[in-house]
Amino acid sequence: MQTSKQELDQQLTEKLKSVFGFDSFRGNQLEIIKHTLHGHDGLVIMPTGGGKSMCYQLPALMGQGLTIVVSPLIALMTDQVTNLRSYNIGANYINSTLSNAQKREVFQSIENGKTKLLYISPEKAVMPRFIQYIQTKQVDLVAIDEAHCVSIWGNDFRPVYTQLISLLQALPAIPVMALTATADRATQVDICQKLKMKTPRIFISSFERKNIHILVRPAQGRLQQVLAFIKQHRGQAGIIYCLSRKSTEELALKLRNAGLRAAHYHAELSSSEREKIQHAFQRDELQIVCATIAFGMGIDKSNIRWVIHYNLPKNIESYYQEIGRAGRDGSPAEALLFYNFHDISIFRRFIDESEADSDFKNVQHQKLDRIWEFTQATNCRTNLILNYFGEYRDKPCMHCDICTHPPQGFNGNTLTQKALKTCIEAGQNLTLPMLIDVLRASGRKEIYSENLHKLSNYGSGRELSRNDWIHYLTQMINQGFIMIDYTKHSILKCTTLSQDALDGKLNIKLTKPIDPKFIIREVKPPGKNEEFNNNLLNDLKKWRREQAAEENVPAYIVLTDRVLKEIATRRPTTLLDLINISGIGDHKLEKYGKAIIKNIQEFIQHQEILKNVKGQSSLESFYLLKEGYHPKDIAQIKGIKLDRVFDHLIDLYKKGEDIDLQQFISEPIMHEVVEGWRFSGGSFDPAVVAEFIQSPVPMHQIKIVLSIIRKQKSF
Ligand code: ADP
Ligand code: ZN
């Protein structure tokens, strides 16, 4: 029977809720899923963390047969399969890590229909034996992840991907879904052609990652900035991308010396070492990984809270893919990028010295120009990226540093003229650092050996700091008033615009540096309610850790941080309440529901007891006093120290209870303590006041007198 449109929508939404616990589809997921279920081919372009996997996972659950997922990354495959199994979904993978016995088991499970999703590496998927075998099975869908690898226009071409066509042609009637997070227009068309897709629809989601806050900083004092940033993100997982293997090692060491749990990662490590680091990072045992770009492709960790680019990435595609690894759970995350000319010149050299043909080199140089323009942007950075990927928009994003801290512009004619005059007077022979040294009259040795201190412009820019000069010169270079000659040791030269700038014919606009303080933002102390939730969250995390260890899976496979946070905020106390939390499906409800509720109930009970003990005990002492007992007797009755009884009474007295504390203090002691208080300069710290009292007075008596003074002062 044909189901109506609404019925299908409802069925799919119910499945999404019952299996994954999510209330609604994100973006165009539903549209993509229906397109596939109707038997059509499609190309899905969605940013990392956008929810691509759901597009083939849900259809896989709707059909009778098997869904094949081609995935090039072993770690990702393992992770996805573990994740699906945690929802009680039959999933398996085939790749080079499996033994023959394990492979037999997988095929057995396909035979008896237990496997709904089969992840497979492209190498295995194109083997004639596999193709022959799979033709005898009922296949509902072939999904090809990281589909940009099929195109030479893409960021990561893999020849084996082009052979996938043999698998697809062996399954001619089966819909194909290609998925990728990175493909410009040319790559998109190429993917569809290379995979010979039949009248495919291309689904492009917005590339905006609203939960990622984008920050870009000049690289001066980079290490200090990084340390301050990490301090602000205490205990939160992050990746620092570096340009070279050596710098990953050095930086990780510095971070460890600063007491942080950091490791380095690069292609030169043995595969077991790399696995160990990935594993520790996945399980939150390691907070920070300092890595080359080799790290991350296979990382499916949803709670990465920040990504730092210690060096400039080689293009906008890489940058956006790398920062996309942060905040996949949808909670706020930060991306911090450092730029300097040094990195640019290294990249230029890499490109020039590579074996590639001149067309390819040209493209690489242009891509490098775009990422540099991104670092120098004076308008919304997100829009710049979106425009790059062909998504045109001009409303500010409000989650990049330019939107949240708009740079202040001013007329930069004088500054530019100073720089140009100095540059010209020195024979257009200075590098950028040297020009700054001359402008600021730094007194560096080379200045004297080159006789630069005799220039008339020597010291003409000493009113600005070194960092400010770097900031302004960078803008002058970007606007074309000065250029860097990379072919001659990066010396600065005049351009065709220089003369007009010197003649004052232009209105040069420069912007002031963004205050670095805002990356070292003050962390607000949590409010009472927040503190309560944090404590509950910690309890729940502890439970999750134990559960994950028992199941031998990473903690987020049990439940993600986002789900735990929502539980801690909403504090469900029945299973019915718990099902309303996004991310709890039927299977997880059944598996963990009771334990979660028990944790919450125990926590709340514990809090109540704590609260009562404190309040109750003070009141008891007060009532006993009212009944005529002396504090000494009260201490005995309650089995507590005399000082504690007085603490109770002082506490209530401060809160306004009518208690005559003066009766416990003799005249001379009163006098003595008041004198001590005066000498202390009016301190209300009993220990301080005690220092200024001649003869020994019991601490509780000092406290009483101080609370009496305070009360009198407040009238
Ligand atoms: P991608 O493969 O595009 O990088 P994933 O498929 O890993 O992204 O999805 C990212 C996260 O979003 C996962 O934690 C996933 O469970 C979650 N997710 C996917 N679809 C939904 C949805 N409809 N509602 C809530 N969360 C979702
Ligand atoms: Zn913005």
For residue 582, the ligand 1 atom closest to its alpha carbon is 25
What's the confidence (pLDDT) of residue 168? Answer: 96
Residues 6+ apart with CB under 8 A from 467: 218, 220, 221, 513
Question: Mean pLDDT across the stretch 616-645?
Answer: 82
The CA distance from 7 to 485, in Å, is 66
If pLDDT is split at 50, 70 and 90, which confidence band does 522 have? very low
Q: Give me the percent of the chain exceeding a pLDDT of 90.
A: 53
If pLDDT is split at 50, 70 and 90, which confidence band does 610 have? low
| Residue of 53, 177, 301, 584 to mutate, ligand 1, most atoms within 8 A of C-beta | 53
How many whole angstroms from 551 Cα to the centroid of ligand 1?
22
Q: Whose CA is nearest to atom 24 of ligand 1?
A: 22
Question: Which helix H or strand E contains 363, and what residues bound it?
Answer: helix 358-375
How many whole angstroms from 636 Cα to the centroid of ligand 2?
67
What's the confidence (pLDDT) of residue 612? Answer: 57
Question: Which residue from 348, 488, 479 is spatially nearest to 427, judged by alpha carbons?
Answer: 488
Q: What is the pLDDT of residues 248-288, one digit of tens each?
A: 999 999 999 988 999 999 989 998 999 899 888 988 889 99
How many whole angstroms from 337 Cα to the centroid of ligand 2?
15
Question: Mean pLDDT across the stretch 488-514?
Answer: 90
The CA distance from 434 to 439, in Å, is 9
How many whole angstroms from 204 Cα to the centroid of ligand 2?
21
What's the confidence (pLDDT) of residue 517? Answer: 62
| Closest ligand to residue 382's CA | 2
What's the confidence (pLDDT) of residue 615? Answer: 63
DSSP H helical segments within 389-497, as ranges?
Answer: 401-404, 413-425, 432-439, 445-449, 466-478
Question: Which residue from 197, 217, 134, 201 is spatially nearest to 171, judged by alpha carbons?
Answer: 134
CB 238 within 8 A of CB 301: no
If pLDDT is split at 50, 70 and 90, which confidence band does 609 have? low
Considering the segment(s) 5-204 as one domain, its CATH architecture is 3-Layer(aba) Sandwich (3.40)
How many whole angstroms from 363 Cα to the centroid of ligand 1?
33
Return the number of other C-beta atoms located less than 10 Å from residue 412's C-beta.
Answer: 21
How many whole angstroms from 210 Cα to the centroid of ligand 2?
10
pTM of the model: 0.64
What's the confidence (pLDDT) of residue 404? Answer: 85
What's the confidence (pLDDT) of residue 366? Answer: 86
| Closest ligand to residue 405's CA | 2
Q: Is pLDDT above 70 for 561?
A: yes
How many whole angstroms from 287 Cα to the centroid of ligand 2?
28
Q: Is pLDDT above 50 for 332?
A: yes
Q: Is pLDDT above 50 for 701?
A: yes
User: What is the 3-class SS of 30-47, one letter each residue?
Assistant: HHHHHHHHCCCCEEEECC
For residue 145, the ligand 1 atom closest to its alpha carbon is 2
CATH 1.10.150.80 given to domain 524-614 = yes
For residue 50, the ligand 1 atom closest to its alpha carbon is 3
How many whole angstroms from 217 Cα to the centroid of ligand 2?
15
Q: What is the pLDDT of residues 151-160, one digit of tens each?
A: 887 667 889 9
Least confident among 520-524, 525-529, 656-660: 520-524
The CA distance from 121 to 70, in Å, is 6
User: What is the 3-class SS of 117-161, one letter each residue?
Assistant: EEEECHHHHCCHHHHHHHHCCCEEEEEECCHHHHCCCCCCCCHHH
Q: What is the pLDDT of residues 93-136, one digit of tens each?
A: 999 999 999 999 999 999 999 999 999 999 999 999 999 999 99
DSSP line for 552-576: TS-HHHHS-HHHHHHHHHH---SHH
Instruction: Considering only CA atoms, give the Rg of the chain.
Output: 33
Q: Whose CA is nearest to atom 16 of ligand 1?
A: 51
| Closest ligand to residue 566's CA | 1
Q: What letter would DSSP give residue 96?
A: T
Q: Whose CA is nearest to atom 2 of ligand 1?
A: 52
Domain extents for the chain?
5-204, 212-404, 409-490, 524-614
Question: Which residue from 317, 33, 24 is spatially nearest to 182, judged by alpha carbons?
Answer: 317
Q: Whose CA is nearest to atom 1 of ligand 1?
A: 49
How many whole angstroms from 405 Cα to the centroid of ligand 2?
10
Mean pLDDT of the chain: 89
CATH 3.30.70.580 given to domain 409-490 = no
How many whole angstroms from 218 Cα to the centroid of ligand 2?
18
CB 200 within 8 A of CB 41: yes
| Residue of 15, 54, 556, 557 to mutate, ligand 1, most atoms within 8 A of C-beta | 54
What's the confidence (pLDDT) of residue 128? Answer: 96
CB 540 within 8 A of CB 546: no
Higher pLDDT among residues 68 and 152, named by residue: 68
Question: Which residue from 482, 601, 591, 581 is spatially nearest to 536, judged by alpha carbons?
Answer: 601
* Long-range contacts, stretch 346-349, CB < 8 angstroms, 24+ apart: 346/243, 347/312, 347/314, 348/486, 349/486
The CA distance from 346 to 365, in Å, is 12
What's the confidence (pLDDT) of residue 8? Answer: 94
| Closest ligand to residue 32's CA | 1
For residue 29, the ligand 1 atom closest to its alpha carbon is 23
The residues with which 310 forms a beta bridge, in sequence order, are: none
Question: Mean pLDDT across the stretch 649-658?
Answer: 82
What's the confidence (pLDDT) of residue 523? Answer: 44
If pLDDT is split at 50, 70 and 90, which confidence band does 638 have? confident
Judging by DSSP bridges, how do beta strands 491-494 and 482-485 pair with one another?
A: antiparallel
Question: Which residue from 283, 246, 285 is spatially nearest to 264, judged by alpha carbons?
Answer: 246
Range with the largest mean pLDDT of 219-223, 286-290, 297-301, 396-400: 286-290
If pLDDT is split at 50, 70 and 90, which confidence band does 362 have? confident
Question: Mean pLDDT across the stretch 70-93?
Answer: 92
For residue 300, the ligand 1 atom closest to its alpha carbon is 7
| Closest ligand to residue 385's CA | 2
- List the Cα angle 270/273/279 in 5-degree steps: 140
If pLDDT is split at 50, 70 and 90, which confidence band does 488 have? confident
How many whole angstroms from 302 Cα to the centroid of ligand 1?
9
DSSP, collapsed to helix, strand or coil, labels residue 628 as coil
Q: Whose CA is nearest to atom 18 of ligand 1?
A: 51
| Closest ligand to residue 581's CA | 1
What's the confidence (pLDDT) of residue 100? Answer: 93
| Closest ligand to residue 403's CA | 2
How many whole angstroms from 52 Cα to the centroid of ligand 1?
7
- Give residues (CB < 6 A) around ligand 1: 22, 25-26, 29, 46, 48-54, 302, 328-329, 560
Domain 212-404 in the same topology as domain 5-204: yes
CB 489 within 8 A of CB 432: no
Which fold is adopted by the domain 212-404? Rossmann fold (3.40.50)
- At 20, which amino acid appears? F
Question: Mean pLDDT across the stretch 356-375?
Answer: 88
The order of strands in the sheet holding 176-180 is 91-94, 117-120, 66-70, 139-144, 176-180, 42-45, 201-204
What's the confidence (pLDDT) of residue 61? Answer: 97
How many whole angstroms from 386 Cα to the centroid of ligand 2?
11
Q: Whose CA is nearest to atom 26 of ligand 1?
A: 22
If pLDDT is split at 50, 70 and 90, which confidence band does 298 have? low
Q: Whose CA is nearest to atom 17 of ligand 1?
A: 51
| Residue of 44, 210, 212, 328 to mutate, ligand 1, most atoms within 8 A of C-beta | 328
The CA distance from 480 to 289, in Å, is 38
